[in-house]
Amino acid sequence: MKFSWRTLLLWTLPALVIGFFLFQGTFSTTEANMGNNTASTRMSYGRFLEYIEGGRVASVDLYENGRTAIVQAIDPDLDNRLQKLRVDLPGNSPELITKLREANIALDSHPMQSNGLIWGLLGNLLFPVLLIGALFFLFRRSNNMPGGPGQAMNFGKSKARFMMEAKTGVMFDDVAGIEEAKEELQEVVTFLKLPEKFTAVGAKIPKGVLLVGPPGTGKTLLAKAIAGEAGVPFFSISGSEFVEMFVGVGASRVRDLFKKAKENAPCLIFIDEIDAVGRQRGAGIGGGNDEREQTLNQLLTEMDGFEGNTGIIIIAATNRPDVLDSALMRPGRFDRQVTVDTPDIKGRIGVLEVHARNKKLAPEISLEAIARRTPGFSGADLANLLNEAAILTARRRKEAITMLEVDDAVDRVIAGMEGTPLVDSKSKRLIAYHEVGHAIVGTLLKDHDPVQKVTLIPRGQAQGLTWFTPNEEQGLTSKSQLMARISGALGGRAAEEEVFGYDEVTTGAGGDLQMVSGMARQMVTRFGMSDLGPLSLESQSGEVFLGGGLMSRSEYSEKVAARIDDQVKVIAEQAHQLARKIIRDNREVIDRLVDLLIEKETIGGEELRQIVAEYTIVPEKEQFVPQL
């Protein structure tokens, strides 16, 4: 609960009002004590003395310790009738009493009552008491809420969410596209439900399962499915929730988490993003983070230390297994490493079927066609794709999702939002030649992926796009395929040079050239596809830690580095010359395609291939082989 001035005012305003009335009551106590003797007419002290000397005063009643007097006097202006008059007496007037006695005037003194003092004291104490009570009430309320000041002593307590019977709403039937991972984890669920089936043959329950895979592939979804299927107590926590700014808090939270888990064994513990706490110890300049390393040490001890943790299965997820400490990865802690990779075409169809259950699809929708167009998409990407298609359908006021909305959704997910089409100008014609250059080279090269469509509609930062779709899953890529992709990527720049001249080339090929350089360098340094021979000269993953990056030495000499640069240049230049030759030999069909593209703004792959089939000059295969 947050402390606010509004809350303080709600408590203090009534206290101020009550205190005001109490003070008013204190000041008016004397007048209340005067009762019926209160006079409505005042008389000055000098005239009061004149009345005494004139024998007109009948009686005097003194109040407020002699500071006020109620006088009964004969008023000559009112036919000598008695009248009550109020006189404010000076502080020091001892001669007044003497004069009253000498004149035989009835004198009476009325002492002050103590009730006024009591009410005054209560009035002075009421506001502080109410203020302290309000603050105490606010403190107690915030003490019972997360993050309140009363939580200062609870830093060492685990923040894991605990569910005695996890009702995540996700079962294994709701997870598709990762059948191998499901099979591994279903065995863990069976361990928990029927342990005697395995213990009868001497098998032990695994202590930990590490889910490894790219983001969005369904690691957390699998953990939810395990929680929904197992029917045992379930703890879930993120790796970042262990470490705080205070030293020793992370280790204390690990101890508290496993203490609670042992009290509820058998149970499951799910740690998401474990790389936040499980990174390699001692990495970086000047050592690692002591607090994080203490937390990791405590986690290692709890998972497989002196005492053990029978009946507790730990499931962790990460997309950075390369940074995890080796002691955490060994058997006995994480006995199994389950790879949750992007789904293949069969898996993508299954994922699309799961996410299409609550969506209205038109009869012509083919989930297989969508799956074939989305290679490399994760489960999260496919879910987002169908959701974007549903949003476009609602925006266009259609009753069901059609392939048009799916195609637009794919383009939006991959390339970004659709921009305003260009007007017919030199710039639009140049972009058309650039995109047709990509398409014609990709179509005429045998080992290149087929063209899906060519468009001049801008998306994201691109003014035009050429889409290529693999016709089958490609787990391995050949040298000829890589060379074809490099030539296809250079087709746009080659078309600009052949049609408009070298001086008129634009910056539109910047992204293409970056991709070409990356693929060519990988061919030389990682895949051994050059005259340098079958050597891997660079590691497949970059440096993870700052210290390793600064202190690692080069993996090859300067002479080899120069040869690598030469080989990369040769591959790129040969692919570039091949692309320019294809553009020159097929200029007639390119001009026809450009005119059609400017008119329609989008050409489908089948239509493009039909036009190209009318005039085709296929390049020779020998031109693919780079030579120094």
pLDDT above 60: residue 525: yes
Would you place residue 627 in the very low, low, confident or very high pLDDT band (cuts 50, 70, 90)? very low
Side-chain-side CA neighbours of residue 559 (13 Å): 1
Better-scored residue on pLDDT, 337 or 130: 337
Q: Which residue has the higher pLDDT, 417 or 324?
A: 324
Residues whose CB is less than 8 angstroms from the CB of residue 384 and which lie 6 or more positions away in sequence, other chains included: 413
pLDDT band at 13 (very low <50, low <70, confident <90, very high): low
Q: Which residue spans of the chain are classified as CATH 1.20.58.760?
A: 426-537+556-624
The question of whether 229 is a catalytic residue gets the answer no
Whether the per-residue pLDDT at 173 is higher than 80: the answer is no
- For residue 321, the model assigns a pLDDT of 85
Class of domain 161-339 (CATH, top level): alpha beta
State yes or no: pLDDT of 520 exceeds 90.
Answer: yes
- Per-residue pLDDT band for 472 (boundaries 50, 70, 90) equals low
CATH code: domain 426-537+556-624 is: 1.20.58.760
The whole-number average pLDDT for the span 66-81 is 75
What is the per-residue pLDDT for 570? 93
The answer to whether 446 touches 590, Cβ cutoff 8 Å, is no
532-552 average pLDDT score: 60
Q: What is the DSSP secondary-structure string of 591-602?
A: HHHHHHHHHHSE
The architecture (CATH level 2) of 345-415 comes to Orthogonal Bundle (1.10)
Strand, helix or coil for residue 357: coil
Among 197-211, 273-287, 519-533, the minimum mean pLDDT is found in 273-287
More confident residue, 208 or 34: 208
Residue 235 CB contacts under 8 Å (≥ 6 apart), including other chains? 160, 161, 162, 257, 260, 261, 267, 268, 269, 270
* Strands laid side by side in the 161-163 sheet: 161-163, 234-238, 267-272, 312-318, 208-212, 336-339
According to DSSP, the residues that pair with 208 across neighbouring strands are: 314
Topology of domain 8-115, CATH? 3.30.720
Handedness of CA 155, 160, 162, 167 (dihedral sign): positive
Q: Which of 151-155, 257-261, 382-386, 459-463 has the lowest mean pLDDT?
A: 151-155
CA nearest neighbour of 542 among 518, 559, 558: 518
Instruction: Sort 399 into a burial class: Cβ within 10 Å, 0-12 / 13-18 / 19+.
Output: exposed
Separation CA 348–CA 379 (nearest Å): 7
> What would the pLDDT profile of 119-155 be if each residue is shown by its tens digit?
666 666 776 777 787 777 666 655 554 444 444 445 4
Q: Where is mean pLDDT largest: 23-37, 148-162, 234-248, 477-491?
A: 477-491
With 70 as the cut, is the pLDDT of residue 471 above it? no
Mean pLDDT, all residues of the chain: 77
**What is the SS3 string spanning 533-582?**
CCCCCCCCCCCCCHHHHHHCCCCCCHHHHHHHHHHHHHHHHHHHHHHHHH
459 secondary structure, DSSP code: B
Residue 591: HSE in the Cβ half-sphere, 13 Å Cα cutoff: 8
Contact 603, 593 (CB under 8 A): yes
Does 612 score more than 80 pLDDT?
yes
Q: Where in the chain is the domain with CATH 1.10.8.60?
A: 345-415
pLDDT tens profile 90-127: 766 677 777 777 777 877 777 765 555 566 666 667 76
Calculate mean pLDDT across residues 413-435.
80
Global model pTM greater than 0.75? no
- For residues 551-570, give the mean pLDDT: 82
Stretch among 42-51, 209-218, 434-443, 614-623 having the lowest mean pLDDT: 614-623
Q: How does residue 578 score in pLDDT terms, banded at 50, 70 and 90? A: very high
> What pLDDT does residue 621 have?
40
d(CA 124, CA 121): 5
Give the rounded percent of residues in the chain with a pLDDT score beyond 70.
75
Single-letter amino acid, residue 56: R
Residues of the chain with CATH 3.40.50.300: 161-339
Q: Report d(CA 467, CA 488) in Å as an integer.
A: 11
Residue among 29, 33, 23 at smallest CA distance from 120:
23
- Whether the ω angle into residue 266 lies within 30 degrees of 0, i.e. cis, is yes
pLDDT above 50 for 546: no
Q: What is the pLDDT of residue 547?
A: 45
Evaluate if residue 327 carries a pLDDT over 90.
no
Work out the average pLDDT over 455-483. Answer: 80
pLDDT value at position 389? 92
For residue 7, what pLDDT band results from cuts at 50, 70 and 90? low
Average pLDDT over residues 371-376: 83
Dist CA 59 CA 71 (whole Å) = 6
**Residues 405, 435, 496, 498: which is the catalytic one?**
435
Cα separation of 391 and 401, whole Å? 9
pLDDT value at residue 1: 44
pLDDT higher at 92 or 445: 445
